């Protein structure tokens, strides 16, 4: 084989090896993952585990809602968290990866209430990795709170507030709040919506039918 042909063949093989090591990253806003780590077959049903604490939990809360997808920039950001009846922050259950991973520094108006309440700028890397996930697929979403706080300690019996904040378009947001009781008895509730900076020209429905169900541990 002549020398020019050998060089051409070597160059072609080198390019093939280089390209085989590259990957195409799927944009966050079209991902079909809802991954807060949990062994579940439903991509829109997930649990949240921040600590490996073996402390016994009193039960679990299923938080459910219906999610749409808004085909606009500066939208589709969601955060879900728990507070006690006095408004004290307990734990984040889910947050869109863009905002949770630092996007709030560029777009602080996206999930203002969650960022302020959780003091997310102080969140540890493990908490960010556990809570944040790619944009959820449109449809019925189910998230599970194991009735533990950010340190993995079981919460005391009593009333808790679950909140879901959605970024509709730029500074236009919706904030759902509902109350659920942790204790010895099953109970459920429906959350109410509060629209913030609602823009009549961009009043798309991002989140609806928010509810929660508490099941005590048997």
Express each pLDDT in 73-128 by its tens digit: 899 999 999 999 999 999 999 999 999 999 999 998 999 999 999 999 999 999 99
Q: What percent of the chain has pLDDT over 90?
A: 67
Region at 139 (left for phi over 0; alpha for psi -120 to 50; beta for the rest): left
- Angstrom distance (rounded) from CA 136 to CA 167: 13
Q: Are strands 139-145 and 45-47 parallel, antiparallel or unpaired?
A: parallel
Report CA-CA distances (Å) from 125 to 37, 50, 176, 218. 15, 11, 27, 34
| pLDDT tens per residue across all 218 residues of the chain | 544 443 443 434 343 332 222 222 333 333 333 333 332 334 456 555 444 456 789 999 999 999 999 999 899 999 999 999 999 999 999 999 999 999 999 998 999 999 999 999 999 999 999 999 877 999 999 999 999 999 999 999 999 999 999 999 999 999 999 999 999 999 999 999 999 998 766 678 999 999 999 999 98
Residue 29 confidence (pLDDT): 33
- Angstrom distance (rounded) from CA 192 to CA 177: 6
Residue 218 confidence (pLDDT): 85
Residue 44 confidence (pLDDT): 58
Closest CA to 91 of 172, 147, 17: 147
Q: What is the dihedral of CA 69, 71, 72, 77, to 10 degrees?
A: 20
């Amino acid at each position: 084989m002549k020398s020019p042909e050998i060089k051409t063949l070597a160059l072609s093989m080198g390019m093939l090896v280089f390209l085989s090591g590259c990957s195409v990253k799927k944009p966050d806003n079209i991902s079909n993952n809802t991954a807060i780590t949990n062994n579940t077959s439903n991509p829109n049903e997930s649990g949240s585990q921040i600590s490996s604490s073996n402390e016994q939990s009193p039960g679990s809360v299923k938080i459910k809602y219906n999610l749409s997808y808004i085909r606009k920039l500066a939208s589709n950001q969601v955060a879900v968290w728990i507070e006690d009846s006095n408004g004290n922050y307990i734990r984040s259950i889910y947050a869109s990866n863009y905002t949770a991973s630092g996007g709030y520094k560029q777009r602080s108006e996206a999930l203002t209430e969650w960022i302020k309440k959780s003091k997310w700028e102080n969140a540890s890397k493990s908490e960010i990795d556990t809570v944040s996930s790619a944009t959820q697929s449109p449809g019925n979403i189910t998230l599970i709170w194991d009735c533990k706080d950010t340190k993995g300690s079981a919460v005391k019996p009593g009333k808790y507030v679950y909140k879901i904040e959605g970024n509709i378009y730029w500074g236009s947001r919706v904030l759902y709040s509902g109350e659920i009781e942790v204790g010895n008895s099953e109970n459920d509730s429906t959350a109410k919506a509060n629209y913030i900076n609602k823009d009549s020209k961009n009043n798309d429905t991002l989140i609806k039918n928010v509810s929660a169900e508490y099941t005590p541990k048997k």
